[in-house]
């Protein structure tokens, strides 16, 4: 599948050398993407909060090679240290996107990257990392063709990021992003994420996400393997339909500021994601005992106080505690006194909704 609209035809400038630096955030899905077709096309639509503090900074230095080369020429560094083990993933990414960036083999690249969150925090860096790299490459395309519009730049950056990691397509902009064509969301596409185009109630402005690091180890099951287990999954069809309905439902919730409706929808999404993992073949469990302890405590505290604390999960044991700005003080106190004890080495990250990638 090649999409002509992303194949550049007008790369008129000669650029020998240069660099681009971007920071790009992580995101947390409210309606989860789990299951994909060929070419990183999602089986269902998803929507996420863009995060603010958890991000990747990437500097891409490029220099024209005057040789004709068969392979991509690049070196990659994390926190100043060369990372040979990152190369295969980037190589695969380059293979997928070369048709859209036909100049990839004309340059030698130095990719220097760092994350604001610790590498071994169990927080996936693929969304922020792949989107940061896609943006740096788009900056080079813009050097070669200064005519491209901002709209095309963002759309293609998301399109390319998606080919690196599906959820990365949702990290270019903020504060809410939809990925996947949905009849109720104008402009939505399977190919790239779009900024959520409708009214959002003040209740959801500056929403908090405190990430409790329950297990900082490497994931036992990669998301690629997990997505693939949705093929032939007995509940897949119903799940994809449910996600579609949840996107329709969240639209009303976001507009009216319905916090109770929001909580019910996102917690059900989080548990459904894990239920899909537990009911695939082979089956697996990514939650840990402390994940469940935290969920129990959140439910008890919510019942007792009526405050709008809620949780979501991604493909791991860590818990994202989500809560509105106007209740932040009391909820943060509770997190510190009651929940942090369940985190590995007491580690957690205070984040909130953010507004997307930035060029430095």
Question: How far is the C-alpha of 263 from the C-alpha of 322, rounded, in Å?
Answer: 9
Estimate the share of the chain in helix, then strand, then coil, as percent rounded to the nearest 5. 40, 25, 35
- What sign has the CA pseudo-torsion 96, 97, 99, 105? negative
Of the candidates 169, 181, 186, 182, the residue with the CA atom closest to the CA atom of residue 245: 182
CB of 44 or CB of 203, closer to ligand PMV: 44
CA distance 102 to 145: 13
Quick one: which of 45, 121, 128, 167 contacts ligand PMV (CB under 6 A)?
167
Q: Which residue lies nearer to ligand PMV by CB, 49 or 301? A: 49
**Which one of residues 122, 129, 166, 193 is an interface residue with ligand PMV (CB under 6 A)?**
166
> Cβ(321)–Cβ(209) under 8 Å?
yes
The per-residue b/e assignment along 263-278, b for 16 or more CB within 10 angstroms, e otherwise, is: bebbbebbbbbbebbe
Q: Which is nearer to ligand PMV, 56 or 334 (CB)?
A: 56
- In the region spanning residues 88 to 127, those forming contacts with ligand PMV, defined by CB under 6 A, are 124, 126
Cα separation, 62 vs 241, whole angstroms: 44
- By beta-carbon proximity to ligand PMV, the closer residue of 287 and 315 is 315
Least distance in Å: CB of 4 to ligand PMV?
Answer: 25
> 218: which DSSP letter?
P
- Residue closest to 169 by CA, chosen among 193, 199, 186: 193
Stretch that binds ligand PMV, among 28-36, 151-159, 200-208, 283-291 (CB under 6 A): 28-36
DSSP tally for the chain: helices H, then strands E = 8, 14
**Residues in region 37-66 near ligand PMV by CB under 6 A:** 46
Helix intervals (H) in 315-358: 328-334
Tokens of 339: 């929940």
Closer of 23 and 40 to ligand PMV (Cβ) = 40
Question: Binding string, 195-224, against ligand PMV, x = CB under 6 A?
Answer: ----------------------------x-
Q: Smallest distance from the beta carbon of 256 to ligand PMV, in angstroms?
A: 24
Give the residue from 266, 238, 247 showing the smallest Cα distance to 184. Answer: 247
Shortest spacing between CB 179 and ligand PMV, in angstroms: 8
Q: Chain-centre distance of CA 237, in angstroms? A: 23
Among 4-12, 101-109, 163-171, 230-238, the segment contacting ligand PMV (CB under 6 A): 163-171
Q: Return the residues of window 224-243 that contact ligand PMV according to CB under 6 A.
A: 227
Enter the DSSP assignment of 176: E
Among 23, 25, 26, 33, binds ligand PMV (CB under 6 A): 33
Closest contact distance (angstroms) between CB of 215 and ligand PMV is 15
Tokens of 149: 């519009």
* Residue 219: CB minimum distance to ligand PMV, A: 10
x/- map, 257-286, ligand PMV, by CB under 6 A = ----------------x-------------
Here's the x/- map for ligand PMV, 303-332, by CB under 6 A: it reads as -----------xx-----------------
- The number of residues that bind ligand PMV (CB under 6 A) is 15
Q: Using DSSP, state whether 188 is helix, strand or coil.
A: coil
| DSSP-assigned letter for residue 335 | I
Among the residue ranges 26-34, 52-60, 98-106, 203-211, the one whose residues contact ligand PMV (CB under 6 A): 26-34
Q: Which residue, 229 or 307, is less far from ligand PMV as judged by CB?
A: 229
CB 325 within 8 A of CB 308: no
Residue 79 C-beta: closest distance to ligand PMV, Å:
22
Residues contacting 153, CB < 8 A, separation 6+: 138, 142
Footprint of ligand PMV (CB under 6 A): 29, 32-34, 46, 124, 126, 165-167, 223, 227, 273, 314-315
């Amino acid at each position: 599948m090649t999409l002509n609209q992303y194949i550049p035809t007008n790369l008129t400038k000669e650029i020998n050398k240069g660099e681009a630096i971007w920071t790009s955030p992580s995101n947390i899905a409210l309606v989860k993407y789990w299951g994909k077709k060929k070419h990183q096309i999602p089986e269902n639509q998803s929507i996420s909060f863009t995060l603010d503090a958890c991000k990747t900074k990437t500097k891409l230095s490029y220099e024209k090679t005057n040789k004709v080369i068969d392979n991509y020429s690049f070196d990659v560094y994390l926190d100043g240290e060369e990372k040979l083990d990152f190369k295969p993933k980037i190589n695969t990414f380059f293979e997928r996107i070369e048709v859209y960036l036909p100049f990839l083999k004309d340059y030698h690249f130095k990719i220097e990257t760092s994350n604001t969150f610790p590498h071994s925090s169990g927080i996936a860096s693929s969304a922020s990392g792949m989107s940061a790299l896609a943006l740096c490459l788009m900056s080079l395309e813009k050097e070669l063709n200064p005519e491209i519009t901002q709209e095309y730049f963002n759309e293609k950056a998301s399109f390319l990021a998606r080919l690196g990691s599906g959820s990365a397509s949702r990290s270019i902009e903020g504060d809410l992003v939809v990925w996947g064509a949905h009849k109720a969301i104008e402009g939505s596409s399977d190919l790239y994420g779009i900024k959520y185009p409708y009214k959002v109630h003040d209740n959801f402005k500056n929403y908090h996400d405190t990430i409790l690091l329950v297990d900082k180890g490497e994931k036992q099951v990669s998301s690629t393997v997990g997505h693939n287990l949705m093929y032939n999954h007995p509940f897949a069809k119903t799940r994809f339909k449910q996600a579609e309905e949840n996107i329709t439902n969240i639209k009303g919730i976001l507009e009216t500021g319905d916090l109770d409706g929001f909580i019910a929808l996102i917690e059900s999404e989080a548990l459904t994601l894990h239920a899909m993992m537990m009911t695939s073949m082979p089956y697996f469990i990514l939650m840990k005992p402390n994940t469940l302890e935290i969920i129990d405590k959140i439910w008890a505290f919510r019942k007792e106080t009526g405050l709008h604390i809620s949780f979501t999960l991604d493909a791991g044991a860590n818990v994202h505690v989500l809560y509105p700005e106007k209740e932040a003080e009391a909820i943060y106190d509770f997190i510190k006194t009651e929940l942090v004890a369940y985190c590995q080495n007491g580690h957690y990250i205070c984040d909130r909704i953010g507004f997307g990638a930035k060029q430095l």
